[in-house]
Structure 1
Amino acid sequence: MSRRIKGLVEFEDDNGAVVRYLRHPHGGGLVSPAAHAHEGAWLAETSYVEAGAVVHDGARVGPGSWVDVDVVVGARAVVGSNVHLGAGTRVGSGARVGTGARVGERVSIEPRATVTADQVVPDGATVGGSGTGRRSGYGRAA
């Protein structure tokens, strides 16, 4: 069940709890009132940004993507369609996360790094990147 009141969208989850989101002015994505999405970011209408998350200026989040609890998406980072960014993940400025990627919890994606389409990044990994458009591998965070 959902209802709309001037930019407020409410859902009843499977446990009967009411979850509230606000529509972002650029793209219409759903943002928890306990999250912060910069007005200069663009969030696709079917994207979700959960409580404690921060989406910085110039970042783009594609359709069907889920920015989980306490995630930070850096300035000018691009998150493709149907991506899940696990809780506590950090996406650096200018980084790119490809369509369909599944990023685990507490992952660090360095500035300008690339996660390829459909890639699965395990919990606690670091995705390195040292140059624009350069794709780097990942390894376990120490």
Structure 2
Amino acid sequence: MRTKRARFELETDDGRVLRYARHDNGGGLVSPDAHVHEDASVAAGAYVEAGAHVGPRSRVGAGSWVDRDVRVGADVTVGTSVHLGPGTSVGAGARVGSRAKVGDGVVVEAGAYVPPDEVVPDRTVVRRGRGAAQPLRSVAA
């Protein structure tokens, strides 16, 4: 049986009201218009915005922000204080290091690795390298 989740409202500087509920696994804040798999964890202090999807067994670290319409596949690790920009897609098994800033519309391929503190420009692709996963970026078509 599920317990009733605490709900929160925040007002933005422009007067919009954003609504969130605490995720059962980790206590992070999730928009009611987002989908976070029940087997995923969203740490306290993390946000998942409207339209975002977080897959099974994925972890979103404390202080991270999964922006609008982001897709996070299964078994993904998102470190602490990460920003995944709107429309970004993170493939299954990928890892995003702490404090990384991933731009809008980025594709992080399955199994790829974004190092800590990395800044990934908008609309690029992070590919899985040979051997150890290495970030290789090229402009997306």
Task: Indicate whether 1:129 and 2:140 are aligned.
Answer: no
Give the match for residue 108 of structure 2: 109
> For the residues of structure 2 that align with 1:93 and 1:115, how far apart are their CA atoms?
13
Give the letter aligned to residue 60 of structure 1: R
Give the letter aligned to residue 39 of structure 2: G
Moved over 6 A (4+): none
Q: C-alpha offsets along residues 74-104 of structure 1, whole Å, 9 cap, x if unaligned?
A: 1000000000000000000000000010000
What stretches of structure 2 of length at least 5 have no aligned partner?
A: none
8 A contact 1:113–1:131 mirrored in 2:
no
8 A contact 2:5–2:23 mirrored in 1:
no
8 A contact 1:69–1:87 mirrored in 2:
yes
Relative to the length of structure 1, the TM-score reads 0.92
Give the letter aligned to residue 52 of structure 1: G
What stretches of structure 1 of length at least 5 have no aligned partner?
A: none
Give the match for residue 65 of structure 2: 66
Give the match for residue 49 of structure 1: 48
Task: Indicate whether 1:90 and 2:123 are aligned.
Answer: no
Task: Indicate whether 1:141 and 2:101 are aligned.
Answer: no
Q: Percent identity?
A: 52
Task: Indicate whether 1:120 and 2:110 are aligned.
Answer: no
Give the match for residue 29 of structure 1: 28
> For the residues of structure 1 that align with 2:100 and 2:33, how far apart are their CA atoms?
25
Q: CA deviation at 1:136?
A: 2.9
8 A contact 2:7–2:22 mirrored in 1:
yes
Relative to the length of structure 2, the TM-score reads 0.93
Q: RMSD of the TM alignment (CA)?
A: 1.5
Q: CA deviation at 1:25?
A: 0.3
Query: Aligned residues, how many?
Result: 138
